[in-house]
């Protein structure tokens, strides 16, 4: 009996299907197996809230254990740092050219910018001066914000 043959979803080459593997869609090559695993993880992150939370927690734990990793990596890999800076300039220019320069859409926010899930809480925050480009995070100030109730009556100075 002739073994069935399929085309790999990643590289497109033909491979013999192993009857023991359900939905055998990728060949044995390392790159194709990595693509299969990436696809699985993307789908898992999209569809499984518990897995997504576990991944987030694990990443936060790793960052807390290795706080200077990226700083040291950039110091030890200047080509990475230089290429990243060039790419960031290109992204910044592309972002600016899409809309008028005075619109808020030109502002480049940090990853942890406030979202509907993250409301402003009392605490200390960095205050960054607004510039026309709003790209650099230099000259930041530490400010303290205290939340007050909506029925607060201002009595004046």
pLDDT confidence of residue 147: 72
Q: For the chain, give every domain's residue range.
A: 1-67
Q: Which residues pair with 141 in a beta bridge?
A: 127
pLDDT confidence of residue 131: 59
Q: Which residues pair with 6 in a beta bridge?
A: 15
Structure tokens at 130: 């607004």
pLDDT confidence of residue 130: 62
Q: Is the pTM here over 0.75, yes or no?
A: no
pLDDT confidence of residue 107: 55
**Interior angle at CA 100, CA 96 and CA 101, nearest 5:** 60
For 129: left if phi > 0, alpha if psi spans -120 to 50, otherwise beta; the answer is beta
pLDDT truncated to tens, each residue of the chain (157 aa)? 688 899 999 999 999 998 888 889 999 999 999 999 999 999 999 999 999 999 999 999 999 999 999 999 999 999 999 999 999 999 888 877 665 555 554 455 555 555 555 566 777 776 666 655 565 555 666 777 777 776 777 776 6
pLDDT confidence of residue 133: 58
pLDDT confidence of residue 93: 84
**6 and 24 Cβ atoms separated by less than 8 Å:** yes
CA gap 70, 83 in Å, rounded: 15
**7 and 14 Cβ atoms separated by less than 8 Å:** yes
pLDDT confidence of residue 92: 86
pLDDT confidence of residue 153: 72
């Amino acid at each position: 009996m002739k073994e069935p043959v399929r085309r790999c979803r990643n590289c497109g080459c033909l491979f013999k299907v192993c009857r023991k593997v359900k939905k055998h869609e990728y060949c044995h090559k390392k790159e194709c197996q990595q693509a299969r695993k990436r696809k699985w993880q993307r789908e898992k992150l999209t569809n499984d809230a518990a897995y997504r939370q576990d991944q987030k927690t694990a990443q936060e734990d790793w960052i807390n254990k290795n706080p200077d990793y990226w700083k040291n990596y950039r110091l030890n890999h200047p080509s990475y740092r230089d290429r990243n800076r060039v790419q960031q300039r290109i992204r910044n220019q592309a972002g600016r050219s899409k809309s008028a320069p005075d619109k808020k859409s030109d502002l480049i926010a940090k990853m942890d910018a406030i979202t509907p899930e993250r409301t402003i809480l009392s605490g200390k925050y960095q205050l960054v001066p607004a510039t026309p480009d709003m790209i650099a995070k230099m000259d930041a100030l530490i400010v303290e914000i205290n939340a007050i109730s909506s029925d607060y009556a201002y009595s004046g100075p």
